[in-house]
Amino acid sequence: MFPLRMGSPASFATVRDFLKKSGYSEEFLKSHFSVPALEPLLMPQGLLFQHFEKLYQGEGAALFLTRLFLGGYATPRQLFHKYCPREVMDALLELGLVQEVRGSHHDLRSPVLLYPAYGLYIASDAGPRMEGVTGYQGQDFVMSGTEDICRDFIDGFPKTPCERFLDMGTGSGLAAILGAGFAKHAWAVDITERATRFANFNRMLNGVDNLTILRGDLFEPVKDLQFDRIVSNPPFEPPLKSHMIYSEGGSDGEQILARLVQQAPEHLVAGGRLYANVCGTDRDGETFDERVVRWLGVYREEVDVALFVRLELKPEQYAIQQMLGENQESWRLHEYNAFYGSLRAYQVVIGMLVIQRRTRPRPVFRVRRKLGLRSGVEHMDWLMDLEARLLDEGMPQRLMQAAPVATSHWELVARHAFREGRLSPVSYAFQTKQPFEVELNVAPWIAMVVADCNGRHTLESLYDSLQKKAPISEGQFLEAMRALLSCDILRLPGESVPEPLSGPVRHYFLQ
Ligand SMILES: C[S@@+](CC[C@H](N)C(=O)[O-])C[C@H]1O[C@@H](n2cnc3c(N)ncnc32)[C@H](O)[C@@H]1O
């Protein structure tokens, strides 16, 4: 049964204003518990026991709300009288955000988690909590959206204005509610009724009225609509865990993503993009990104595909990470090994998949890049735009007339071997860390051209002088220059690449 009640807009506004005025914010939680993000507070889906002591250190409305909504503790009525004005208390009861503890008129408890996230308040299902409360255990459990993986998703799509925004598989509705803040209108779809009810509750709690929430299988409820931005954090786990709808991605973990990729192009306007948070496998004979292109079917020639990788892990590393996260027994490692073995998978890939419907007939591009530690969505969007420009009509001629500059953040690594009694270079590779971690193997002539790119020589003049030393075709030359531009080893005049992100670097558990 859905644990909350839809109340009047006025009751939602009363609760919202109270939460804000009380200082119940992400900043408060991070500083009170001395954690860099909310996730370390919350395994599994509730406040971790080791934070218990701090929960009772200090006083104030924000801490009271933390105990109530994050800790899930039964709270005596007199404390509510201390911190909540009468109308707030009435509104909390009306919305079901607090309910009487069974068998006690003195204590109240919240049946849900209610978190501050990205300046919003998000209610979602609560898992096991202290005091023997088991939490919600249905397969349609709605995750909060504040877990690290959801943060990666939310941080991985642009927040710039757009017309029509869709969050596919919305869960608690966090991404959709954020989207409604910069889109003219936003839509959210989820297959479970429970998720759509939470999303709608959260829409009201955050006072959003340009968001339509619909229930159904992928694009079925929006079959006649097109969007300029679609975002999705689809389920992608192997079918080895608890069969939760939010996490299980079908027989190979990629089934829902495959259908999403297949159907998305039809629902994108020209120039529209899908940003999907993905986890898939590189397999013998077919990498993950190659399979994505195959899923596109008839849209293959109309759609650009970019895979921005955050993490590449050996299957057994990924399995260990999963087992530790879920407190699973170590013998299950065999099940994971058998699963990845059956797929002939040699690598698990986690990242952001961007699919773009081209604006006019032109060749499409495919890129796969490992994101630099200080790179984010700005860098992904920069590359998407650059790759499209490099395929513009007339670009080869314009490129030949341009005088690019070599950037200064790469290293050229030469491998040497001892051959015929002499140490000789056998291969050259450009290595970069920002904006992407790249190792670009090149022929020696490419390294020589880059060394001469100082902004004063056009590519045409560099090509002419190269001709005297090596017979390279213009096609080969341009292809190499495009690769160098796309890795930000060369830059065109006037090209501006986003600065590396500042602030703490996101560290992954196993890397
Ligand atoms: C990993 S959760 C992500 C939830 C939310 N977007 C977030 O990031 O917190 C995946 C969501 O997709 C929904 N879902 C699963 N299969 C779906 C389908 N076939 N069509 C629409 N939604 C689906 C699940 O119910 C769940 O809410």
Q: How far apart are CA 113 and CA 125, in angstroms?
A: 6
Of 350, 366, 392, which residue constitutes the final position of a domain? Answer: 392
| Same domain as 205, residue 73 | no
pTM: 0.95
| Cβ atoms within 10 Å of 107's Cβ, excluding its own | 16
Q: How far apart are CA 130 and CA 216, in angstroms?
A: 35
* Strand partners of residue 114: 123
What pLDDT does residue 461 have?
97
Of 375, 392, 409, which residue constitutes the final position of a domain? Answer: 392
| Same domain as 384, residue 246 | yes
With respect to residue 511, please indicate whether it lies within any of the assigned structural domains. no
SS3 per-residue string spanning 398-442: HHHHCCCEECCCEEEEEEEEEECCEEEEEEEEEEECCCEEEEEEE
With respect to residue 132, please indicate whether it lies within any of the assigned structural domains. no
Q: 276 CA to middle of ligand 1, Å?
A: 12
Q: 187 CA to middle of ligand 1, Å?
A: 14
With respect to residue 502, please indicate whether it lies within any of the assigned structural domains. no
Cα 60 to Cα 7, 79, 83, 109, 309, distances in angstroms: 27, 11, 8, 18, 43
What pLDDT does residue 49 have?
66
Task: Name the 3-class secondary structure at 117.
Answer: strand
Give backbone dihedrals phi and psi of 352, rounded to 5 degrees, phi first: -115, 125
What pLDDT does residue 48 have?
66
| Domain extent at residue 415 | 398-491
User: Which residues touch 50 (CB under 8 Å, ≥6 apart)?
Assistant: none
Q: What are 364-411's pLDDT values in tens digits?
A: 999 999 999 999 999 999 999 999 999 999 999 999 999 999 999 999
| 365 Ramachandran zone, left/alpha/beta (phi>0; psi -120 to 50) | beta
Residue percentage of the chain with pLDDT more than 90: 76
Q: How far apart are CA 98 and CA 15, in angstroms?
A: 12
CATH number for the domain that contains residue 418: 3.90.930
Q: How far apart are CA 299 and CA 302, in angstroms?
A: 5
Of 392, 419, 449, which residue constitutes the final position of a domain? Answer: 392
pLDDT at 243 over 90: no
* Contact predicate 16/205, CB 8 Å: yes
| Cβ atoms within 10 Å of 312's Cβ, excluding its own | 16
| Same domain as 402, residue 388 | no
What pLDDT does residue 327 have?
66
With respect to residue 257, please indicate whether it lies within any of the assigned structural domains. yes
With respect to residue 510, please indicate whether it lies within any of the assigned structural domains. no
What pLDDT does residue 198 have?
98
| Same domain as 354, residue 251 | yes
Tally of domains within the chain: 3
| Same domain as 110, residue 177 | no
- Degrees to nearest 5, angle at CA 257 with 253 and 260: 155
* Contact predicate 291/324, CB 8 Å: no
- For the chain, how far is it from start to end, CA to CA, in angstroms? 40
| Same domain as 417, residue 374 | no
**Residue 247 CA, closest ligand 1 atom number:** 1
pLDDT at 201 over 50: yes
Question: Which of 256, 257, 278, 279 should be mutated for ligand 1, with most atoms under 8 A from CB?
Answer: 256
With respect to residue 241, please indicate whether it lies within any of the assigned structural domains. yes
Confidence of residue 332 (pLDDT cuts 50, 70, 90): confident
With respect to residue 258, please indicate whether it lies within any of the assigned structural domains. yes
Buried residues in 457-492 as b, exposed as e (16+ CB within 10 A):
bebeebbeebeeeeebeeeebbebbbbbbbbbbbbb
* Contact predicate 333/320, CB 8 Å: yes
Mean pLDDT (whole number) for 188-203: 98
Confidence of residue 425 (pLDDT cuts 50, 70, 90): confident
DSSP state of 90: H
Mean pLDDT (whole number) for 135-147: 87
What pLDDT does residue 202 have?
98
| Same domain as 289, residue 167 | yes
Q: How far apart are CA 499 and CA 488, in angstroms?
A: 12
| Same domain as 362, residue 269 | yes
CATH number for the domain that contains residue 176: 3.40.50.150
What pLDDT does residue 511 have?
47
With respect to residue 216, please indicate whether it lies within any of the assigned structural domains. yes
pLDDT at 510 over 60: no
| Same domain as 107, residue 37 | yes
| Same domain as 311, residue 237 | yes
**Residue 150 CA, closest ligand 1 atom number:** 8
Ligand 1 interacting residues, C-beta cut-off 6 A: 143, 145, 150, 153, 169-172, 174-175, 189-192, 195, 217-218, 233-235, 245-246, 256
| Same domain as 267, residue 195 | yes
Q: How far apart are CA 43 and CA 321, in angstroms?
A: 14
Mean pLDDT (whole number) for 303-327: 89
> Going by CA atoms, what residue is nearest to atom 19 of ligand 1?
217
Give backbone dihedrals phi and psi of 459, rounded to 5 degrees, phi first: -65, -30
Query: Residue type for 342, please?
Result: S
pLDDT at 217 over 80: yes
**Residue 218 CA, closest ligand 1 atom number:** 20
| Same domain as 272, residue 365 | yes
